[in-house]
Each structure stands twice: as C-alpha cells, then as structure tokens.
Amino acid sequence: MVTIHHLEVRLDVAADDEVAVFARLFNRYIEAWARQRETERAREKAAARASELTESRGSWEM
C-alpha cells in the first residue's frame, strides 16, 4: 500500500477554461477515490466486527 502524505499539483495553462476543465476532472476522480477508500474502510471494520463476534461465540462453547 502506498500512502501519499503531501500532494502538490502545479498547472501552467493559458486559458481559464483549461483550469476549469482540470479542476472538474480532478475533483471527479479525487471524489471517486475518496468514496472507494471509505467503502474499503467500512468493509474492513465490518470484517473486524464479524471476526470479533465469531471469536467471542467460540469462547462460550465447551
């Protein structure tokens, strides 16, 4: 896994339209990435909870 702690993007463009297009595309993809990461974290938490429940049930049996 790669963790990015600091990301700096520099863009040298001649027209405001190009900046708007870049910003729109960047936002679209960074939001998709954030949603995917959030989903992954939720799955990890659910799996951890399920594992805890399974382990606790096992200790009740003799």
**pTM greater than the 0.75 cutoff:** no
Helix (H) or strand (E) holding 58: helix 16-60
Decide which of 38 and 4 is more confident. 38
Query: Which pLDDT belongs to residue 14?
Result: 64
Q: Where are the domains of the chain?
A: 14-57
Which tens digit of pLDDT belongs to each residue from 8-53? Answer: 877 666 667 777 888 888 999 999 999 999 999 999 999 988 888 7
Closest CA to 26 of 37, 38, 15, 34: 34
- Check whether 62 has a pLDDT greater than 80: no
Residue 43 identity = R
